[in-house]
């Protein structure tokens, strides 16, 4: 293996690792314990929807999401 292909392999592996870390969702327990850390930031939460609420003709819905570490209510701008 040449030096340039080794460097390319290392660069690709590093990019995959960084992308994987950035895509990690935030645990609900962590979000509740440190809300200031996530203030004004976009995050992703993965879990099961345990309940949903909506009012006809309003452009949003509320969902209760549980990821096993806690539960939060999430507001969605659409009902999709």
34-65 confidence digits (pLDDT tens): 999 989 888 888 899 999 988 888 888 889 99
Alpha helix positions (H), 1-80: 3-22, 28-33
pLDDT for the residue numbered 77: 78
**Beta strands at 48-54 and 71-76: parallel, antiparallel or unpaired:** unpaired
Q: Which domain holds residue 67?
A: 3-76
For the entire predicted model, the pTM comes to 0.61
CA distances from 25 to 12, 16, 46, 61 (A): 22, 16, 6, 21
Cα(67)–Cα(38) distance, integer angstroms: 17
CA distances from 50 to 68, 77, 79, 80 (A): 11, 18, 16, 16
25 compared with 14, residue with greater pLDDT? 25
**Banded model confidence at residue 80, pLDDT cuts 50, 70, 90:** low
Residue 16 pLDDT > 80, yes or no?
A: no
pLDDT for the residue numbered 34: 92
Domain count, the chain: 1
């Amino acid at each position: 293996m040449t030096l340039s292909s080794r460097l390319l392999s290392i660069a690709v592996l590093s990019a995959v690792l960084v992308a994987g870390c950035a895509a990690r969702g935030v645990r609900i327990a962590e979000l509740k314990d440190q809300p200031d850390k996530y203030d004004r930031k976009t995050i992703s939460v993965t879990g099961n929807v345990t309940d949903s609420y909506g009012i006809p003709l309003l452009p949003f819905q509320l969902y209760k999401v549980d990821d096993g570490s806690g539960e939060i209510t999430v507001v969605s701008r659409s009902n999709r």
